[in-house]
Structure 1
Amino acid sequence: MKIRFACLPGYEAILPKPSLASGALPDWLKAMPAATASSVLLDAEVRTVKQCPPFVDAMQSGILFPLAADVRVENGEFAWDWNAPSSGSRMTRSPIGVHAPEQATGLPGAPSGEFVIKFNNFWTVELPEGWSMLFTHPANRPDLPFHTFSGVVDCDRWKSGHVHFPAVWTDPEFNGTLPAGTPVAQGWPIKRESLELKFAEMDAKELAEHETVQDALGERAGVYRKDFRARSK
């Protein structure tokens, strides 16, 4: 699938670009024990989530959208020094905006009376006909001091407008710099098509296949990764 990104004139040289998530795993995952860790509860060596392909594949699938510029955070106040060019467009030049507190009225997790921040995205996204994109918080990234809301945008049609990323700031103790390039959202293309749900009990063949998988899980490690995973990342 070809996905096209475009920015305003004069911005390409200064903007971090969206990237394939496969090349941007966080340092803490890289530093995590590769094979096993000692469990006090079980009094045994166990595999960490680094050995769980679905966990890791969620983090390295799709596209990461980066923070446009360094943002300083001090005592809950945000500031930045970013000499973004004036292109004549009505598009903001601020890397972060806000939503009024009232816009989050009744939303669980949104602090009452506080602004909802908005990470401004300076890239348009164009998908092939019939495809939308799910935007959400970067997968398995509770280390980030914010939580991005999820949304689905029909980017085959909304290809001339920007998609911005509202989020709640979750770490009131954070003081420091959120560097340019920090992933603020992750996107997955999804095809727009009707879904049909079917339910049934396993027939004899399906039951036999299920028992084969269960037996394999008890006999050896890495069954899903070695036998069922569609591709290595």
Structure 2
Amino acid sequence: MQLALLAAAGIGLSLGILGSGGSVLALPLLVYLAGQDVKQAIAGSLFIVAMISLATLLFSPAKRQINWRLAWQLGISGALGGYIGAYAGQFVHPLLQLLIFATLMLIAAQAMWRHQETTANHSSTYVIVIAGTLAGALTSFTGAGGGFMLVPVLVRFAGQDFFHARATSLLLIFSNAVLALLANLKFQSNWQLDWTLLLAISALGIIGSLSGRYWSASWSQQRLRRGFALLLVIIALFIVGHSLLEVI
């Protein structure tokens, strides 16, 4: 339990520093350290990430860096995707959910590592809407907040600098997570969530997140992007390795 609570601070640090990564830490934490069923952990992960991202926005300067136009575009499309993902998740084996989760993490990591400064073009609006739908579906389907998809999209296709992308991502993580949690609870009404554990993890995560925002204020954008990419690769490889051992 102590290890799980320590990892909770890491969830907050990831969200505070990178604007993402909280869910990719929360899901493995609940599955591998707290011993929860994958589908139950997906719901718990959504609750944790929603609480941490909301607190980070309320108690840090991040709310002043949100691009509201992009937030609306991605938020509305994400709501639709969230319902689709929750419905589809009923019929998929938990192991497959984890492997899809890890694969998308590796794709996002490559996009961020190889990033080159660009500006958005007119056609990027369609890419943004499609990405919002996919991020919403992924949120419900795997318990991810979707930030590890949203940050690369905002940086590469919407022409946002990392700090504005991070702030906008936090808002979308909150909205996607809340909608996805409600959708998952609708389709899986027999879940019994450990609210004491979830609240404890959320509280430690909030402390970590606010600390991360403070520490990273003067970091370079390239350093943040590549740190984000490395985090995704490490966790994705762990999930794939553990999943393969279960099959063997």
Same fold (TM over 0.5): no
1 or 2, which has the higher strand percentage? 1
Larger radius of gyration: 1
1 or 2, which has the higher helix percentage? 2
Taking structure 2 as the reference length, the TM-score comes to 0.25
By relative contact order (CA 8 Å, sep 6+), the higher-ranking structure is 2
